[in-house]
Chain A
Protein backbone atom coordinates (compact mmCIF):
# COMPACT_ATOMS: atom_id res chain seq x y z
CA UNK A 1 0.00 0.00 0.00
CA UNK A 2 1.19 3.48 -0.82
CA UNK A 3 2.10 5.44 2.28
CA UNK A 4 0.14 8.49 3.37
CA UNK A 5 3.10 10.76 2.64
CA UNK A 6 3.40 9.37 -0.92
CA UNK A 7 -0.27 9.90 -1.54
CA UNK A 8 -0.09 13.44 -0.18
CA UNK A 9 2.98 14.45 -2.20
CA UNK A 10 1.59 12.87 -5.41
CA UNK A 11 -1.67 14.72 -4.98
CA UNK A 12 0.05 18.04 -4.43
CA UNK A 13 2.49 17.58 -7.34
CA UNK A 14 -0.28 16.64 -9.77
CA UNK A 15 -1.17 20.28 -10.10
CA UNK A 16 2.34 21.75 -10.11
CA UNK A 17 4.09 22.61 -13.41
CA UNK A 18 6.14 19.67 -14.68
CA UNK A 19 9.57 21.34 -14.60
CA UNK A 20 9.23 22.19 -10.88
CA UNK A 21 7.94 18.78 -9.82
CA UNK A 22 11.16 16.90 -9.08
CA UNK A 23 12.58 19.71 -6.96
CA UNK A 24 9.39 20.33 -5.01
CA UNK A 25 8.95 16.57 -4.52
CA UNK A 26 12.35 16.33 -2.82
CA UNK A 27 11.95 19.48 -0.77
CA UNK A 28 8.41 18.72 0.35
CA UNK A 29 9.35 15.19 1.42
CA UNK A 30 12.32 16.51 3.42
CA UNK A 31 10.13 19.14 5.09
CA UNK A 32 7.48 16.55 5.99
CA UNK A 33 10.16 14.15 7.32
CA UNK A 34 11.67 16.97 9.43
CA UNK A 35 8.28 17.81 10.92
CA UNK A 36 7.50 14.13 11.61
CA UNK A 37 10.90 13.63 13.27
CA UNK A 38 10.37 16.66 15.45
CA UNK A 39 7.04 15.24 16.61
CA UNK A 40 8.52 11.78 17.23
CA UNK A 41 11.37 13.35 19.21
CA UNK A 42 8.73 15.07 21.31
CA UNK A 43 7.37 11.64 22.19
CA UNK A 44 4.62 11.08 19.60
CA UNK A 45 3.91 7.77 17.91
CA UNK A 46 5.27 7.79 14.29
CA UNK A 47 1.92 7.14 12.58
CA UNK A 48 0.21 9.79 14.68
CA UNK A 49 3.07 12.19 13.87
CA UNK A 50 2.60 11.62 10.10
CA UNK A 51 -1.14 12.13 10.37
CA UNK A 52 -0.72 15.33 12.41
CA UNK A 53 1.95 16.76 10.08
CA UNK A 54 -0.05 16.15 6.90
CA UNK A 55 -3.25 17.45 8.47
CA UNK A 56 -1.40 20.62 9.41
CA UNK A 57 -0.11 21.04 5.85
CA UNK A 58 -3.73 20.99 4.74
CA UNK A 59 -5.43 20.60 1.35
CA UNK A 60 -2.70 19.50 -1.13
CA UNK A 61 -4.54 21.28 -3.97
CA UNK A 62 -4.18 24.60 -2.12
CA UNK A 63 -0.53 23.87 -1.49
CA UNK A 64 -0.09 23.19 -5.21
CA UNK A 65 -1.79 26.52 -6.01
CA UNK A 66 0.73 28.20 -3.73
CA UNK A 67 3.68 26.51 -5.43
CA UNK A 68 2.38 27.23 -8.91
CA UNK A 69 1.57 30.85 -7.98
CA UNK A 70 -2.03 30.34 -9.06
CA UNK A 71 -4.86 32.49 -7.85
CA UNK A 72 -7.75 30.69 -6.23
CA UNK A 73 -10.33 32.49 -8.39
CA UNK A 74 -11.41 32.72 -12.02
CA UNK A 75 -11.79 36.48 -12.33
CA UNK A 76 -10.27 38.80 -9.73
CA UNK A 77 -11.72 42.05 -8.37
CA UNK A 78 -9.87 44.17 -10.96
CA UNK A 79 -11.52 42.49 -13.93
CA UNK A 80 -14.84 41.63 -12.30
CA UNK A 81 -16.45 45.03 -12.99
CA UNK A 82 -15.58 45.12 -16.73
CA UNK A 83 -16.64 41.48 -17.01
CA UNK A 84 -20.00 42.21 -15.42
CA UNK A 85 -20.58 45.27 -17.61
CA UNK A 86 -19.80 43.33 -20.78
CA UNK A 87 -21.96 40.33 -19.87
CA UNK A 88 -24.86 42.64 -18.94
CA UNK A 89 -24.58 44.48 -22.26
CA UNK A 90 -24.37 41.25 -24.22
CA UNK A 91 -27.39 39.71 -22.51
CA UNK A 92 -29.62 42.78 -22.42
CA UNK A 93 -28.74 44.41 -25.75
CA UNK A 94 -26.96 42.09 -28.17
CA UNK A 95 -28.84 38.90 -27.31
CA UNK A 96 -32.34 40.39 -27.90
CA UNK A 97 -31.22 41.86 -31.25
CA UNK A 98 -29.80 38.52 -32.44
CA UNK A 99 -32.88 36.59 -31.29
CA UNK A 100 -35.22 39.10 -32.97
CA UNK A 101 -33.22 38.83 -36.20
CA UNK A 102 -33.48 35.03 -36.10
CA UNK A 103 -37.21 35.19 -35.38
CA UNK A 104 -37.72 37.60 -38.29
CA UNK A 105 -35.82 35.23 -40.58
CA UNK A 106 -38.11 32.43 -39.45
CA UNK A 107 -41.20 34.56 -40.07
CA UNK A 108 -39.90 35.46 -43.54
CA UNK A 109 -39.43 31.76 -44.20
CA UNK A 110 -43.14 31.32 -43.48
CA UNK A 111 -42.50 29.00 -40.53
CA UNK A 112 -45.30 27.87 -38.26
CA UNK A 113 -45.87 29.76 -35.00
CA UNK A 114 -44.53 26.74 -33.12
CA UNK A 115 -41.27 26.87 -35.04
CA UNK A 116 -40.95 30.60 -34.41
CA UNK A 117 -41.43 30.15 -30.66
CA UNK A 118 -38.99 27.23 -30.75
CA UNK A 119 -36.40 29.39 -32.49
CA UNK A 120 -36.91 32.20 -29.96
CA UNK A 121 -36.54 29.96 -26.91
CA UNK A 122 -33.69 27.78 -28.14
CA UNK A 123 -31.66 30.66 -29.58
CA UNK A 124 -32.11 32.72 -26.40
CA UNK A 125 -30.79 29.85 -24.27
CA UNK A 126 -28.13 28.71 -26.69
CA UNK A 127 -26.67 32.08 -27.64
CA UNK A 128 -27.04 33.41 -24.08
CA UNK A 129 -25.07 30.52 -22.57
CA UNK A 130 -22.44 30.80 -25.30
CA UNK A 131 -22.06 34.55 -24.77
CA UNK A 132 -21.51 34.16 -21.04
CA UNK A 133 -19.18 31.19 -21.47
CA UNK A 134 -16.87 32.69 -24.08
CA UNK A 135 -16.75 36.10 -22.43
CA UNK A 136 -15.85 34.46 -19.12
CA UNK A 137 -13.23 32.28 -20.79
CA UNK A 138 -11.54 35.29 -22.40
CA UNK A 139 -11.55 37.15 -19.07
CA UNK A 140 -10.11 34.13 -17.26
CA UNK A 141 -7.27 34.02 -19.79
CA UNK A 142 -6.71 37.77 -19.54
CA UNK A 143 -6.66 37.46 -15.73
CA UNK A 144 -3.73 35.07 -16.11
CA UNK A 145 -1.72 37.09 -18.64
CA UNK A 146 -0.16 40.10 -16.95
CA UNK A 147 0.44 42.52 -19.84
CA UNK A 148 -3.03 42.40 -21.34
CA UNK A 149 -4.49 42.80 -17.87
CA UNK A 150 -2.48 45.97 -17.28
CA UNK A 151 -3.67 47.43 -20.58
CA UNK A 152 -7.29 46.67 -19.72
CA UNK A 153 -7.12 48.62 -16.48
CA UNK A 154 -9.29 51.62 -17.19
CA UNK A 155 -8.05 54.83 -15.68
CA UNK A 156 -10.92 56.74 -14.18
CA UNK A 157 -11.35 60.50 -14.43
CA UNK A 158 -13.93 63.02 -13.24
CA UNK A 159 -15.34 63.18 -16.78
CA UNK A 160 -16.74 59.69 -16.26
CA UNK A 161 -19.07 60.92 -13.53
CA UNK A 162 -22.74 60.66 -14.48
CA UNK A 163 -24.45 64.01 -15.10
CA UNK A 164 -27.94 63.17 -13.78
CA UNK A 165 -29.64 65.67 -16.08
CA UNK A 166 -33.24 65.05 -17.11
CA UNK A 167 -33.33 63.97 -20.74
CA UNK A 168 -36.31 65.68 -22.34
CA UNK A 169 -37.14 64.76 -25.89
CA UNK A 170 -36.76 67.79 -28.18
CA UNK A 171 -40.10 69.07 -29.46
CA UNK A 172 -38.91 68.61 -33.06
CA UNK A 173 -38.40 64.93 -32.42
CA UNK A 174 -41.90 64.65 -30.97
CA UNK A 175 -43.33 66.35 -34.05
CA UNK A 176 -41.45 64.03 -36.38
CA UNK A 177 -42.56 61.06 -34.31
CA UNK A 178 -46.19 62.12 -34.74
CA UNK A 179 -46.09 63.17 -38.39
CA UNK A 180 -44.47 59.98 -39.65
CA UNK A 181 -47.17 57.50 -38.45
CA UNK A 182 -49.87 59.96 -39.56
CA UNK A 183 -48.37 60.11 -43.06
CA UNK A 184 -48.18 56.33 -43.29
CA UNK A 185 -51.81 55.93 -42.18
CA UNK A 186 -52.87 58.58 -44.70
CA UNK A 187 -50.93 56.88 -47.49
CA UNK A 188 -52.44 53.52 -46.64
CA UNK A 189 -55.99 54.92 -46.73
CA UNK A 190 -55.35 57.05 -49.80
CA UNK A 191 -54.06 54.29 -52.03
CA UNK A 192 -57.22 52.29 -51.26
CA UNK A 193 -59.90 54.92 -51.27
CA UNK A 194 -58.35 58.06 -52.71
CA UNK A 195 -57.03 57.30 -56.15
CA UNK A 196 -60.15 55.68 -57.45
CA UNK A 197 -58.07 53.22 -59.41
CA UNK A 198 -56.82 49.72 -58.56
CA UNK A 199 -55.20 49.88 -55.10
CA UNK A 200 -51.46 49.15 -54.96
CA UNK A 201 -51.68 47.08 -51.79
CA UNK A 202 -53.63 43.88 -51.36
CA UNK A 203 -57.27 44.78 -50.46
CA UNK A 204 -57.72 41.32 -48.92
CA UNK A 205 -55.71 42.53 -45.95
CA UNK A 206 -58.40 45.05 -44.98
CA UNK A 207 -60.07 42.13 -43.22
CA UNK A 208 -57.32 42.23 -40.59
CA UNK A 209 -53.76 43.30 -41.34
CA UNK A 210 -54.20 46.86 -42.66
CA UNK A 211 -56.47 47.92 -39.76
CA UNK A 212 -54.06 46.21 -37.38
CA UNK A 213 -51.10 48.16 -38.79
CA UNK A 214 -53.10 51.40 -38.63
CA UNK A 215 -53.83 50.78 -34.95
CA UNK A 216 -50.13 50.07 -34.37
CA UNK A 217 -49.12 53.28 -36.14
CA UNK A 218 -51.58 55.20 -33.99
CA UNK A 219 -50.07 53.52 -30.93
CA UNK A 220 -46.61 54.61 -32.08
CA UNK A 221 -47.87 58.18 -32.18
CA UNK A 222 -49.26 57.78 -28.67
CA UNK A 223 -45.94 56.29 -27.60
CA UNK A 224 -44.10 59.40 -28.83
CA UNK A 225 -46.36 61.62 -26.71
CA UNK A 226 -45.94 59.29 -23.73
CA UNK A 227 -42.13 59.39 -23.97
CA UNK A 228 -42.17 63.15 -24.40
CA UNK A 229 -44.32 63.69 -21.31
CA UNK A 230 -42.35 61.13 -19.33
CA UNK A 231 -39.09 62.97 -20.09
CA UNK A 232 -37.07 59.99 -19.02
CA UNK A 233 -35.57 57.04 -20.82
CA UNK A 234 -35.31 53.76 -19.03
CA UNK A 235 -35.90 50.05 -19.49
CA UNK A 236 -39.68 50.45 -19.56
CA UNK A 237 -39.37 52.79 -22.55
CA UNK A 238 -36.94 50.38 -24.20
CA UNK A 239 -39.34 47.48 -23.68
CA UNK A 240 -42.44 49.35 -24.91
CA UNK A 241 -40.55 50.65 -27.95
CA UNK A 242 -39.22 47.19 -28.79
CA UNK A 243 -42.68 45.62 -28.58
CA UNK A 244 -44.25 48.34 -30.72
CA UNK A 245 -41.51 48.22 -33.35
CA UNK A 246 -41.62 44.44 -33.60
CA UNK A 247 -45.43 44.30 -33.64
CA UNK A 248 -45.27 46.53 -36.71
CA UNK A 249 -42.21 45.16 -38.50
CA UNK A 250 -42.77 41.42 -38.14
CA UNK A 251 -46.25 41.26 -39.77
CA UNK A 252 -45.15 43.73 -42.45
CA UNK A 253 -42.13 41.64 -43.43
CA UNK A 254 -44.22 38.49 -43.33
CA UNK A 255 -46.87 40.05 -45.63
CA UNK A 256 -44.15 41.25 -48.01
CA UNK A 257 -42.32 37.97 -48.24
CA UNK A 258 -45.36 35.72 -48.48
CA UNK A 259 -46.75 37.70 -51.51
CA UNK A 260 -49.64 39.08 -49.49
CA UNK A 261 -48.51 42.70 -49.59
CA UNK A 262 -49.15 43.94 -53.14
CA UNK A 263 -52.51 43.81 -54.84
CA UNK A 264 -52.46 40.91 -57.34
CA UNK A 265 -54.83 42.97 -59.48
CA UNK A 266 -52.41 45.91 -59.66
CA UNK A 267 -50.52 45.78 -62.94
CA UNK A 268 -48.99 49.28 -63.25
CA UNK A 269 -45.57 47.91 -62.21
CA UNK A 270 -45.41 46.49 -65.76
CA UNK A 271 -44.85 50.07 -67.01
CA UNK A 272 -41.45 50.10 -65.27
CA UNK A 273 -40.21 46.64 -66.20
CA UNK A 274 -41.05 43.00 -65.92
CA UNK A 275 -43.83 42.94 -63.32
CA UNK A 276 -42.46 40.07 -61.22
CA UNK A 277 -39.00 41.67 -61.22
CA UNK A 278 -40.26 45.03 -60.03
CA UNK A 279 -42.35 43.39 -57.31
CA UNK A 280 -39.42 41.25 -56.28
CA UNK A 281 -37.01 44.18 -55.94
CA UNK A 282 -39.58 46.40 -54.25
CA UNK A 283 -40.27 43.61 -51.74
CA UNK A 284 -36.57 43.23 -51.05
CA UNK A 285 -36.03 46.98 -50.75
CA UNK A 286 -38.93 47.52 -48.33
CA UNK A 287 -37.89 44.47 -46.29
CA UNK A 288 -34.34 45.75 -45.93
CA UNK A 289 -35.49 49.28 -45.07
CA UNK A 290 -37.95 47.98 -42.44
CA UNK A 291 -35.38 45.57 -40.99
CA UNK A 292 -32.59 48.12 -40.74
CA UNK A 293 -34.91 50.90 -39.56
CA UNK A 294 -36.47 48.72 -36.87
CA UNK A 295 -33.14 47.36 -35.65
CA UNK A 296 -31.62 50.84 -35.53
CA UNK A 297 -34.59 52.31 -33.67
CA UNK A 298 -34.64 49.49 -31.11
CA UNK A 299 -30.88 49.79 -30.66
CA UNK A 300 -30.91 53.59 -30.34
CA UNK A 301 -33.73 53.59 -27.82
CA UNK A 302 -32.13 50.78 -25.80
CA UNK A 303 -28.77 52.55 -25.85
CA UNK A 304 -30.34 55.83 -24.82
CA UNK A 305 -32.21 54.07 -22.03
CA UNK A 306 -29.02 52.42 -20.76
CA UNK A 307 -27.08 55.69 -20.89
CA UNK A 308 -29.86 57.54 -19.10
CA UNK A 309 -30.05 54.80 -16.50
CA UNK A 310 -26.35 55.20 -15.82
CA UNK A 311 -26.83 58.96 -15.75
CA UNK A 312 -24.73 59.78 -18.82
Chain B
Protein backbone atom coordinates (compact mmCIF):
# COMPACT_ATOMS: atom_id res chain seq x y z
CA UNK B 1 0.00 0.00 0.00
CA UNK B 2 1.17 3.50 -0.73
CA UNK B 3 1.60 6.14 1.94
CA UNK B 4 -1.28 8.17 0.50
CA UNK B 5 -3.62 5.27 1.24
CA UNK B 6 -2.54 4.58 4.83
CA UNK B 7 -1.60 8.03 6.11
CA UNK B 8 -5.12 9.44 6.63
CA UNK B 9 -6.02 6.43 8.80
CA UNK B 10 -2.92 6.85 10.99
CA UNK B 11 -3.51 10.59 11.35
CA UNK B 12 -7.12 9.97 12.32
CA UNK B 13 -6.05 7.41 14.95
CA UNK B 14 -3.55 9.88 16.38
CA UNK B 15 -5.99 12.79 16.46
CA UNK B 16 -8.83 10.79 17.97
CA UNK B 17 -9.28 12.01 21.53
CA UNK B 18 -7.55 15.34 21.06
CA UNK B 19 -10.91 16.99 20.29
CA UNK B 20 -12.19 15.90 23.72
CA UNK B 21 -9.21 17.46 25.51
CA UNK B 22 -9.43 20.63 23.42
CA UNK B 23 -13.20 20.99 23.96
CA UNK B 24 -12.91 20.51 27.72
CA UNK B 25 -10.16 23.14 27.82
CA UNK B 26 -11.98 25.70 25.64
CA UNK B 27 -15.24 25.27 27.56
CA UNK B 28 -13.70 26.36 30.84
CA UNK B 29 -15.18 29.58 29.50
CA UNK B 30 -18.88 28.87 28.62
CA UNK B 31 -19.52 28.46 24.94
CA UNK B 32 -22.12 27.08 22.49
CA UNK B 33 -21.81 24.53 19.71
CA UNK B 34 -21.00 26.76 16.76
CA UNK B 35 -18.64 29.05 18.73
CA UNK B 36 -16.67 26.02 19.93
CA UNK B 37 -16.50 24.71 16.37
CA UNK B 38 -15.08 28.04 15.21
CA UNK B 39 -12.58 28.25 18.09
CA UNK B 40 -11.35 24.73 17.49
CA UNK B 41 -10.88 25.11 13.74
CA UNK B 42 -9.16 28.48 14.27
CA UNK B 43 -6.82 26.70 16.73
CA UNK B 44 -6.02 24.09 14.08
CA UNK B 45 -8.21 21.16 15.17
CA UNK B 46 -9.86 19.43 12.26
CA UNK B 47 -13.29 18.65 13.62
CA UNK B 48 -16.62 18.24 11.84
CA UNK B 49 -19.86 19.70 13.16
CA UNK B 50 -21.57 16.31 12.99
CA UNK B 51 -18.98 14.80 15.35
CA UNK B 52 -18.67 17.77 17.69
CA UNK B 53 -22.37 18.34 18.45
CA UNK B 54 -23.11 14.77 19.54
CA UNK B 55 -19.76 14.72 21.41
CA UNK B 56 -20.84 17.71 23.53
CA UNK B 57 -23.99 15.88 24.61
CA UNK B 58 -22.02 12.73 25.38
CA UNK B 59 -19.57 14.67 27.57
CA UNK B 60 -22.53 16.28 29.29
CA UNK B 61 -24.10 12.89 29.95
CA UNK B 62 -20.78 11.80 31.47
CA UNK B 63 -20.87 14.77 33.81
CA UNK B 64 -17.77 16.41 32.32
CA UNK B 65 -19.80 19.30 30.89
CA UNK B 66 -22.85 21.08 32.16
CA UNK B 67 -25.24 23.09 30.01
CA UNK B 68 -27.64 25.99 30.28
CA UNK B 69 -29.96 27.64 27.79
CA UNK B 70 -29.24 31.32 27.27
CA UNK B 71 -32.41 33.06 26.06
CA UNK B 72 -31.20 36.64 26.54
CA UNK B 73 -30.40 37.08 22.87
CA UNK B 74 -32.73 36.84 19.88
CA UNK B 75 -31.43 33.34 19.12
CA UNK B 76 -31.56 31.03 22.19
CA UNK B 77 -28.35 29.01 22.49
CA UNK B 78 -27.28 26.11 24.63
CA UNK B 79 -24.11 27.05 26.51
CA UNK B 80 -21.78 24.36 27.76
CA UNK B 81 -19.27 24.72 30.57
CA UNK B 82 -16.64 22.29 31.89
CA UNK B 83 -17.50 20.92 35.34
CA UNK B 84 -15.16 20.18 38.26
CA UNK B 85 -15.06 16.56 37.16
CA UNK B 86 -14.38 17.75 33.61
CA UNK B 87 -11.46 19.85 34.82
CA UNK B 88 -10.01 16.90 36.72
CA UNK B 89 -10.26 14.69 33.64
CA UNK B 90 -8.71 17.43 31.50
CA UNK B 91 -5.73 17.68 33.86
CA UNK B 92 -5.14 13.93 33.68
CA UNK B 93 -5.44 13.93 29.89
CA UNK B 94 -3.12 16.92 29.48
CA UNK B 95 -0.53 15.31 31.77
CA UNK B 96 -0.71 12.13 29.73
CA UNK B 97 -0.37 14.14 26.53
CA UNK B 98 2.75 15.84 27.89
CA UNK B 99 4.20 12.50 29.00
CA UNK B 100 3.63 10.98 25.55
CA UNK B 101 5.12 14.04 23.88
CA UNK B 102 8.23 13.78 26.04
CA UNK B 103 8.49 10.04 25.47
CA UNK B 104 8.27 10.50 21.71
CA UNK B 105 10.87 13.30 21.81
CA UNK B 106 13.20 11.14 23.90
CA UNK B 107 12.81 8.23 21.48
CA UNK B 108 13.57 10.53 18.60
CA UNK B 109 16.79 11.85 20.19
CA UNK B 110 18.06 8.40 21.28
CA UNK B 111 17.49 6.83 17.89
CA UNK B 112 18.78 9.99 16.25
CA UNK B 113 22.07 9.88 18.19
CA UNK B 114 22.68 6.27 17.16
CA UNK B 115 22.77 7.16 13.51
Contact = CB atoms under 8 A, between A and B. Distances in A.
A76 to B, nearest CB: 17
B105 interface: no
B53 A31 contact: yes
A218 to B, nearest CB: 59
Interface stretch (A33-41, A85-93, A288-296): A33-41
A30 interface: yes
A57 B49 CA distance: 6
B53 A35 contact: no
A67 B34 contact: no
A27 B58 contact: no
B78 A69 contact: no
Contacts of A56: 48-49
Interface string B47-60: 01111011101100
B50 A66 contact: yes
B53 A30 contact: no
A26 interface: yes
B78 A27 contact: yes
Nearest to A62: B50
Contact of B53 (A33, A63, A69): A63
A30 B32 contact: yes
Contacts of B30: none
Contacts of B55: 66
A57 B34 CA distance: 12
A30 B77 contact: yes
A27 B57 CA distance: 11
Nearest to A59: B50
Given A31-B34, A34-B34, A58-B48, A67 B54 contact: yes
Nearest to A12: B50
Interface in A168-192: none
B54 A66 contact: yes
A28 B57 CA distance: 12
Contacts of A58: 48, 50
Nearest to B38: A38
A31 B55 CA distance: 14
Interface in A245-274: none
Interface of A: 20, 23-24, 26-28, 30-31, 33-35, 38, 56-58, 62-63, 66-67, 69
11 contacts: A28-B53, A30-B34, A30-B76, A30-B77, A31-B34, A31-B53, A34-B33, A35-B37, A38-B34, A63-B50, A66-B50
